[in-house]
Amino acid sequence: MKTLRCEIAGGMATITFDQPDSPVNTMCQAWQDDMVTLADRLLADRAALKGIVLASAKKTFFAGADLKAVMRLSAADAPAMYAELERLKRAFRTIETLGIPVVACLNGGALGGGWELALVAHHRIAVDDPKIQFGLPELNLGLIPAGTGISKMVRLLGLMGAQPFIMESKLFSPREGHELGLVHELVDDAGQLRKQALAWIAANLQAQQPWDAKGYRIPGGAPSSPKIAGALVVAPAMLTARTHGKYPAPEAALAAMVEGAQVDYDTATRIESRYLASLLRGPVARNMINTFFFNLNAIKSGQSRPKDVPRYKPAKVGILGAGMMGAGIAWAQASRGIATVLKDVSVEKAEHGKSYSARLAAKRVEKGQMSPLEQQALLQRITPAADAADLKGCELIIEAVFEQRELKARVTQEAEPMLAAGGFFASNTSTLPITGLAQASKAPQKFIGIHFFSPVDKMKLVEIIRGKLTDDETVARAFDYVLALGKLPIVVNDARGFYTSRTFATYVMEGAAMLGEGIPAAAIENAAVQAGLPVGPLAVLDETALSLSVHVIDQTRADFKAEGRAYEATPGELLVERMVKELGRGGRAAGGGFYDYPQGAKKHLWPQLKPLFEKPGVTWNAKDIQDRLLYRQSVETARCLAEDVLTSVHDANIGSIFGIGFPGWTGGAMQFIYGQGVDAFEARCAQLAARYGKGFALDDAAKAVIRKLEPRH
**Beta strand extents in 306-370 (DSSP E only):** 316-320, 339-343
Residue 46 has pLDDT above 90, yes or no: yes
What is the per-residue burial (b if ≥16 Cβ within 10 Å, else e) of 445-461? bbbbbbbbbeebeebeb
Indicate whether 299 belongs to any domain.
Answer: no
Verify that 172 and 270 share a domain, yes or no.
Answer: yes
The CATH code of the domain that includes 269 is 3.90.226.10
The CATH code of the domain that includes 576 is 1.10.1040.50
Q: For the residues 371-382, what does the mean pLDDT come to?
A: 97
What is the per-residue burial (b if ≥16 Cβ within 10 Å, else e) of 139-172? bbbbbbbbbbbbbbbbbbbbbebbbebbbebebb
Q: What SS3 class is residue 479? A: helix
Element (H, E) at 696: none
Phi first, then psi, for residue 51 (nearest 5°) are -175, 165
Half-sphere exposure of 148 (CA within 13 A, CB side): 25
**Helix-helix angle 29-44:78-96, to 10 degrees:** 30
Verify that 465 and 567 share a domain, yes or no.
Answer: no
Going by C-alpha positions, the residue among 116, 107, 18 that lies closest to residue 61 is: 107
Q: Degrees (nearest 5) of the Cα angle 220, 262, 103?
A: 70
Q: What is the tens place of the pLDDT at every residue in 195-209?
A: 999 999 999 999 999
Q: For the residues 92-104, what does the mean pLDDT come to?
A: 98
Q: What is the tens place of the pLDDT at every residue in 526-546?
A: 999 999 999 999 999 999 899
Question: Cβ contacts of residue 215 below 8 Å, gap of 6+?
Answer: none
Asked which of 11-25, 226-240, 405-419, 641-655 is least confident by mean pLDDT, the reply is 226-240
Q: What is the tens place of the pLDDT at every residue in 601-655?
A: 999 999 999 999 999 899 999 999 999 999 999 999 999 999 999 999 999 999 9
Asked if 133 contacts 172 with a C-beta cutoff of 8 angstroms, the reply is yes
Phi first, then psi, for residue 268 (nearest 5°) are -60, -40
Question: Cβ contacts of residue 102 below 8 Å, gap of 6+?
Answer: 51, 52, 53, 54, 95, 96, 120, 121, 122, 123, 207
Verify that 73 and 106 share a domain, yes or no.
Answer: yes
Q: Is 351 a catalytic residue?
A: no
Indicate whether 291 belongs to any domain.
Answer: no
Verify that 506 and 617 share a domain, yes or no.
Answer: yes
Q: What is the CA radius of gyration of the chain?
A: 28
Q: What is the tens place of the pLDDT at every residue in 653-680?
A: 999 999 999 999 999 999 999 999 999 9
Asked if 338 contacts 486 with a C-beta cutoff of 8 angstroms, the reply is no
Verify that 603 and 634 share a domain, yes or no.
Answer: yes
Report pLDDT for 230.
87
Indicate whether 309 belongs to any domain.
Answer: no
Domain range spanning residue 249?
4-282
> pLDDT band at 76, cuts 50/70/90?
confident
Report pLDDT for 464.
98
Residue 101 has pLDDT above 90, yes or no: yes
Cα separation, 369 vs 667, in Å, equals 31
Beta bridge partners of 419: 394
Report pLDDT for 713.
65
Q: For the residues 566-593, what does the mean pLDDT come to?
A: 95
Residue 432 has pLDDT above 80, yes or no: yes
Asked if 648 contacts 295 with a C-beta cutoff of 8 angstroms, the reply is no
Indicate whether 311 belongs to any domain.
Answer: no
Verify that 474 and 580 share a domain, yes or no.
Answer: no
Going by C-alpha positions, the residue among 27, 112, 24, 35 that lies closest to residue 60 is: 24
Q: For the residues 327-344, what does the mean pLDDT come to?
A: 98
Indicate whether 306 belongs to any domain.
Answer: no
Beta bridge partners of 384: 342
Asked if 340 contacts 332 with a C-beta cutoff of 8 angstroms, the reply is no
What average pLDDT does the chain have?
A: 96
Asked if 185 contacts 125 with a C-beta cutoff of 8 angstroms, the reply is yes
Verify that 486 and 601 share a domain, yes or no.
Answer: no
Indicate whether 361 belongs to any domain.
Answer: yes
Indicate whether 298 belongs to any domain.
Answer: no
Q: What SS3 class is residue 26? A: strand
Cα separation, 125 vs 106, in Å, equals 6
Asked if 271 contacts 265 with a C-beta cutoff of 8 angstroms, the reply is no
Query: How many other CB atoms are found less than 10 A from the CB of residue 521?
Result: 23
> pLDDT band at 281, cuts 50/70/90?
confident
Verify that 371 and 354 share a domain, yes or no.
Answer: yes
Asked which of 3-17, 229-243, 559-573 is least confident by mean pLDDT, the reply is 229-243
Beta bridge partners of 65: 27
Verify that 154 and 260 share a domain, yes or no.
Answer: yes
* Boundary residue ending a domain (435, 467, 499): 499
CA 166 to chain centre: 17
Q: Is 116 a catalytic residue?
A: yes
Element (H, E) at 605: strand 604-605
Question: Cβ contacts of residue 325 below 8 Å, gap of 6+?
Answer: 400, 428, 452, 454, 456
Cα separation, 713 vs 705, in Å, equals 18
Q: What SS3 class is residue 279? A: helix
* Boundary residue ending a domain (475, 499, 523): 499
Element (H, E) at 27: strand 26-27
Summary count for the chain: helices (H), strands (E): 29, 20
Asked if 49 contacts 89 with a C-beta cutoff of 8 angstroms, the reply is no
Indicate whether 59 belongs to any domain.
Answer: yes
Highest mean pLDDT among 221-225, 239-243, 336-340: 336-340
Q: What percentage of residues in the chain have a pLDDT greater than 70?
A: 100
Report pLDDT for 72.
87
Phi first, then psi, for residue 540 (nearest 5°) are -65, -45
Cα separation, 163 vs 231, in Å, equals 12
Asked if 536 contacts 525 with a C-beta cutoff of 8 angstroms, the reply is yes
Verify that 372 and 413 share a domain, yes or no.
Answer: yes
Q: What percentage of residues in the chain have a pLDDT greater than 90?
A: 91
Q: For the residues 476-497, what does the mean pLDDT come to?
A: 96
Residue 231 has pLDDT above 90, yes or no: no
Going by C-alpha positions, the residue among 350, 374, 380 that lies closest to residue 362 is: 374
Cα separation, 300 vs 311, in Å, equals 14
> pLDDT band at 53, cuts 50/70/90?
very high
How many residues comprise the chain? 713
Alpha helices (H) along 113-225: 113-118, 149-167, 174-180, 193-203
pTM, two decimals, is: 0.92
Verify that 233 and 342 share a domain, yes or no.
Answer: no
Q: Which position among 84, 86, 96, 116 bears the catalytic label?
A: 116
Q: Degrees (nearest 5) of the Cα angle 134, 137, 139?
A: 160
* Boundary residue ending a domain (481, 499, 517): 499
Domain count, the chain: 3
Cα separation, 104 vs 123, in Å, equals 6
Verify that 548 and 579 share a domain, yes or no.
Answer: yes
Asked which of 469-483, 549-563, 566-580 is least confident by mean pLDDT, the reply is 549-563
> pLDDT band at 430, cuts 50/70/90?
confident
Report pLDDT for 404.
87
The CATH code of the domain that includes 439 is 3.40.50.720
Going by C-alpha positions, the residue among 387, 618, 653 that lies closest to residue 515 is: 618
Q: Which position among 96, 138, 399, 463 bears the catalytic label?
A: 138
Asked if 675 contacts 286 with a C-beta cutoff of 8 angstroms, the reply is yes
Asked if 300 contacts 163 with a C-beta cutoff of 8 angstroms, the reply is no
Asked if 364 contacts 340 with a C-beta cutoff of 8 angstroms, the reply is no
Q: Degrees (nearest 5) of the Cα angle 529, 707, 462?
A: 50
Report pLDDT for 73.
85
**In terms of C-beta density within 10 A (0-12 exposed, 13-18 middle, 19 or more buried), how is residue 366 classed?**
exposed
Half-sphere exposure of 15 (CA within 13 A, CB side): 28
Asked which of 37-41, 228-232, 343-347, 575-579 is least confident by mean pLDDT, the reply is 228-232
What is the per-residue burial (b if ≥16 Cβ within 10 Å, else e) of 681-711? bbeebeebbeebeebbebeeebbebbeebeb
What is the per-residue burial (b if ≥16 Cβ within 10 Å, else e) of 250-286? bbbbbbbbbbbbeeebeebbbbbbbbbbebbbbbbbb
